[in-house]
Structure formats: structure tokens, C-alpha cells
Copies of this chain bind each other. A is one copy, B any other.
Amino acid sequence: MLARNPDQTRKTLLEAAYEEIRHYGFQAASLSRILTKAGLTKGALYHHFPTKLALGYAVVDEVIHEEILNCWATPLADCEDPVDCLVNLLQKAAEGAGREFIEMGCPLNNLAQEMSPVDEGFRQKLGHIYTLWRQALANALARGQENGKVRPDVNPAAASIFIVAAIEGCLGMAKNARDINLLFECGEGLLHYLDTLRAKPLNL
């Protein structure tokens, strides 16, 4: 009857699973709800994914992984002043997807908090994404030091750990409070910290 498109079907399943998992977490995610959302059936699901766990892994590898890097890592690759650049990213994220974050949180942090103590595979996959994120940030900070935009006594690796943690922390607070203003207030604290990373201008 309908034209078949296995790639699209797989993508539909991944997207529906992504949304379900973002809402309920992985353990409480229901395959029935996912299939209802996707407008498909178990036959389709188990044709493309052998188990629920494999579906969850695929969501991490193919959806969340790219989403996070596209949003937080890649944009840092080509910017002169990493602090300016990061501030821009934060504002863009807060204004653009603020609502989503408030209602559902960061999908990476959600899964990492839920699954890290429960499943080693999830923990490592999510940890890898965090590592890539932090590396991109650390590289940007190091380049900023070469440019003279970032203070030379800053440890890029350590700073990147804290910055990522603070971002996820702020998003988590705002999600619980369901308050976008709290996100901005929290972000202000982060901006203050980021300011302390800036090199002082030479000509004063």
C-alpha cells in the first residue's frame, strides 16, 4: 500500500524514541508509546533494532551525539575569542531552545544521570560525548590563550570540566523550577565566571 522507506522508518523510530526517552527516561520509556507516537508497530521496531537497549544506544549514538556536538562543540571550532563565543552559544541556546530545556531538560544530562549507575554501556557512550564536548571547549580555550584572549594561568582542561558541569547544572535547576528566569539568573553566575577567564587588556 504505502511506499516503503526503511531509512525513513528507522529515523522515525529513533525520533519517537528520543522524545519518549527525553520525557520519561530510558527505563520508564514504553515501547508501546514510542510505536504509537511513530505510527508503527512492533514488527517495524524489532526489524530495525534487536532490543530496547539497542534502540536506546542508537538514540545516544545517532541523535544525542550529533545534537550535542552541533550545538556546543562544533561552533567553538572557529572563533577567535572562546569566551565571547561561548557566551553567544549560551544566549542562543537559552533563547532558542529554552522552552524545551525547561520542560524536558538536556537529553544528554537526563540520560547520564539516570543510566550511569545502571548500565555501563550507556555510561561510557554518554561519557564519551561529554569528553568530546569538553575537549572542544578546552581546545578553544587553549587557542584563546595563544590569541591573548584568555588568561595564560587558566587550565583549559580543568576549566572546561567546570563549565560543562555548570551548564548542565543550570539547565537542571531551571528544569526543576520550570522557570526560564532562573535559567537566566543561573547563567549570569556562569557569565561572571567566564569573565574571570578573560585576559586583561594590554593597554590600560
A170 interface residue (CB < 8 Å to B)? yes
Question: Does B162 lie within 8 Å of A165, measured CB to CB?
Answer: no
Instruction: Report how many copies the assembly holds.
Output: 2
| CB closest residue in chain B, given A105 | B113
- Specify which chain B residues have a CB less than 8 angstroms from the CB of A126 in the assembled complex: 176
Q: Please measure, in the bound complex, the distance between the C-alpha atom of A189 and the C-alpha atom of B193, giving whole angstroms.
A: 9
A168 interface residue (CB < 8 Å to B)? yes
| CB closest residue in chain B, given A168 | B169
Interface residues of A in 110-168 (CB under 8 A from B): 110, 112-114, 116-118, 123, 126-127, 130, 157-159, 161-168
Question: Does A24 lie within 8 Å of B27, measured CB to CB?
Answer: yes
Question: Does A123 lie within 8 Å of B164, measured CB to CB?
Answer: no
A8 nearest CB across to chain B (Å): 28
- Specify which chain B residues have a CB less than 8 angstroms from the CB of A188 in the assembled complex: 158, 162
**B25, B165, B172, B178: the one within 8 Å of A25 (CB):** B25
- Specify which chain B residues have a CB less than 8 angstroms from the CB of A113 in the assembled complex: 105, 109-110, 113-114, 172, 175-176
**B25, B116, B158: the one within 8 Å of A114 (CB):** B25
